[in-house]
């Protein structure tokens, strides 16, 4: 059964710092990996989708990479801002619907 | 832009009541999903549907049922609400196939007293 792990569970950084969030999964037979952002009490906003044949995707200050063979993905956030404070979740799609990690709660301190 | 809407942001119900949570999407998506999210447990899949009148059990279907009479609408039903069903409920949709992006609604915070 697919398991998705996100480390660390929480992260606090000063404004302007570049940071990396990690996601690992146990079964490399995936179709894609999706990164989401969730603000407190709200739904999930899709940030990036990486298909299994791709190595990375970029959107603005965000860059997500995928190493399917090792079961890892990273989300890189450049020049972090207080508005980036949120919980970031990764999820993988395989023979079952999306399986989610428990998220990394990010705080960017001004 | 894809829009997924949920009927209520906040809902308070009493134990034993029948509860309906509605989800509507406007992008002609074939797939629709219901999740619940709890602290420490993350998102867990309750039910999903790949087409009208189709439904599949997710990881935690006990105590829930669903209805998909129209393509754009997916309803989650709590036949007899219990306090352990107090949670955040999230609906999502996507195009057909397992490799398409999922889009989420704003969530319904349900409290069962």
Query: In this predicted structure, what is the pLDDT of residue B101?
Result: 87
Query: In this predicted structure, what is the pLDDT of residue B33?
Result: 96
Number of H helices, E strands in chain B: 0, 11
Segment B17-44, tens digit of pLDDT: 999 999 999 999 999 999 999 998 999 9
Give whole-number Cα distances, A99 to A9, A23, A94, B11, B16, in Å.
17, 12, 8, 27, 31
- Whether B90 and chain A come into contact, CB under 8 Å, resolves to yes
Q: Which of B43, B45, B56, B92 is best to mutate for the A interface (most A CBs within 10 A)?
A: B43
Over 80: is that where the pLDDT of B7 sits?
A: yes
Find chain B residues with C-beta within 8 A of A97's C-beta. Answer: 33, 45, 48, 58, 98
Over 90: is that where the pLDDT of B99 sits?
A: no
* Rounded distance between C-alpha atoms, residue B5 and residue A17, angstroms: 35
> Which residue is listed with tokens 């710092």?
A17
B31, B50 in Cβ contact below 8 A?
yes
Number of Cβ pairs < 8 A linking chain A and chain B: 52
Categorize the per-residue pLDDT at B60 as very low, low, confident or very high, splitting at 50, 70 and 90. very high
Segment A56-71, tens digit of pLDDT: 999 999 999 999 999 9
Query: In this predicted structure, what is the pLDDT of residue A15?
Result: 97
Categorize the per-residue pLDDT at A94 as very low, low, confident or very high, splitting at 50, 70 and 90. confident
Question: In a 3-state reduction of DSSP, which class is residue A100?
Answer: strand
Calculate mean pLDDT across residues B40-58: 93
Over 70: is that where the pLDDT of B2 sits?
A: no
Over 80: is that where the pLDDT of B98 sits?
A: no
Find chain B residues with C-beta within 8 A of A44's C-beta. Answer: 90, 92, 104
Cβ–Cβ below 8 Å for A41 and B101: no
């Amino acid at each position: 059964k697919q398991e998705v792990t996100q480390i660390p569970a929480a992260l606090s950084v000063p404004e302007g710092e570049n940071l990396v969030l990690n996601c690992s999964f146990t079964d490399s037979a995936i179709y894609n990996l999706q990164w989401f952002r969730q603000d407190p009490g709200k739904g999930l906003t899709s940030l990036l989708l990486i298909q299994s044949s791709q190595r990375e995707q970029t959107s603005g200050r965000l860059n997500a990479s995928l190493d399917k063979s090792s079961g890892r993905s990273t989300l890189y956030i450049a020049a972090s801002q207080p508005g980036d404070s949120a919980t970031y979740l990764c999820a993988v799609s395989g023979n079952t619907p999306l399986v989610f990690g428990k998220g990394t709660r990010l705080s960017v301190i001004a | 832009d894809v829009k997924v809407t949920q009927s209520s942001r906040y809902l308070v119900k009493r134990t034993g009541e029948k509860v309906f949570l509605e989800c509507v999407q406007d992008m002609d998506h074939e797939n629709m999903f219901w999740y619940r999210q709890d602290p420490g447990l993350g998102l867990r899949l309750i039910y999903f549907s790949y087409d009208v009148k189709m439904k599949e059990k997710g990881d935690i279907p006990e105590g829930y049922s669903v209805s998909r009479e129209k393509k754009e609408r997916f309803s989650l039903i709590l036949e007899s609400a219990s306090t352990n069903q107090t949670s955040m409920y999230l609906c999502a949709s996507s195009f057909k196939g397992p490799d398409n992006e999922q889009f989420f609604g704003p969530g319904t915070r349900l409290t069962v007293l």
